[in-house]
Amino acid sequence: GIQVEQSPPDLILQEGANSTLRCNFSDSVNNLQWFHQNPWGQLINLFYIPSGTKQNGRLSATTVATERYSLLYISSSQTTDSGVYFCVDRGSTLGRLYFGRGTQLTVWP
Amino acid sequence: NAGVTQTPKFQVLKTGQSMTLQCAQDMNHNSMYWYRQDPGMGLRLIYYSASEGTTDKGEVPNGYNVSRLNKREFSLRLESAAPSQTSVYFCASRQPGQVIYGYTFGSGTRLTVV
């Protein structure tokens, strides 16, 4: 199956700081998504981004499919950004989502 | 609000007990999924249902059974719970062909088997 590596594994920021999360894939990227798991465990779909760049408020994501990586940018971080960020690709098998281990983000006030 | 509803949110079982996790979605999605999440890991697929009336095994199906009761509901059953099944369980749904909308996840069921 697809191997998904995320870095860094942990990130601690002061409120207002910017950050970049990275995701590398062992195989071609098909249907990449970024999820945020909040401290209550809820999984929220942030971006569907198989290629190119998208922006949503303070968050943006870029996927370079030919080089098998994706980046998630968080600007002016807020305490509500805390949680775990997962990048996920959907393989050819229906329903099979390949998750990275996630980046644990903690934003302090 | 539209979405995926899971019940219960928390459950403690004794080894050998059985239980059913319930999942319902009101988005008219055809595909539904059950995942488990263990500490420090991403989600792993247990079972999925591509459409009403069909179910298939995922990555870690042993010890589980599922029922796609109708288009809305997809339940996961533990027949004889084991401590190794202590995990957080997520149900998800998706409408094939509408990939842009991605997956919608329920809020999870935290299960502890003692």
> Distance (Å, rounded) from C-alpha B11 to C-alpha B87?
10
Could you read off the pLDDT of B47-56 as tens digits, one per residue? 999 889 899 9
Q: Kindly indicate the confidence band of residue B89, based on its pLDDT and cuts at 50, 70 and 90.
A: very high
> Distance (Å, rounded) from C-alpha A108 to C-alpha B48?
38
> Distance (Å, rounded) from C-alpha A77 to C-alpha B97?
34
CB contact (8 A) between residue A96 and residue B45: yes
Could you read off the pLDDT of A48-101 as tens digits, one per residue? 888 999 999 999 999 999 999 999 999 999 999 999 999 988 766 555 678 888
A37-41, A93-97, B65-69, B92-96: which is most confident = B65-69
Summary mean pLDDT of chain B: 90
**Which residues on neighbouring strands pair with residue B36, listed in sequence order?**
B44, B89
CB B32 within 8 A of CB B75: no
E-strand ranges in chain B read 4-7, 10-13, 19-25, 31-37, 43-49, 56-57, 64-68, 74-78, 87-94, 104-105, 109-113
CB B86 within 8 A of CB B54: no
| The pLDDT of residue B8 is above 90 | yes
| The pLDDT of residue B113 is above 90 | yes
**Residue A30 phi, psi (nearest 5):** -105, -55
Could you read off the pLDDT of B67-81 as tens digits, one per residue? 998 999 999 999 999
Handedness of CA A39, A44, A46, A48 (dihedral sign): positive
CB contact (8 A) between residue B104 and residue A45: yes
Residues of B with CB under 8 A from a CB of A: 31, 33, 35, 40-45, 48, 50, 56, 58-59, 88, 90, 96, 99-105, 107-108, 110
> Distance (Å, rounded) from C-alpha A105 to C-alpha A12?
6
| The pLDDT of residue B101 is above 80 | no
| The pLDDT of residue B2 is above 90 | no
CB B48 within 8 A of CB B35: no
Please compute the mean of the pLDDT values over residues B35-52 and round it to a whole number: 85
pLDDT of residue A90: 74
Q: Is B96 helix (H, G, I), strand (E, B) or coil?
A: coil
> Distance (Å, rounded) from C-alpha B86 to C-alpha A6?
25
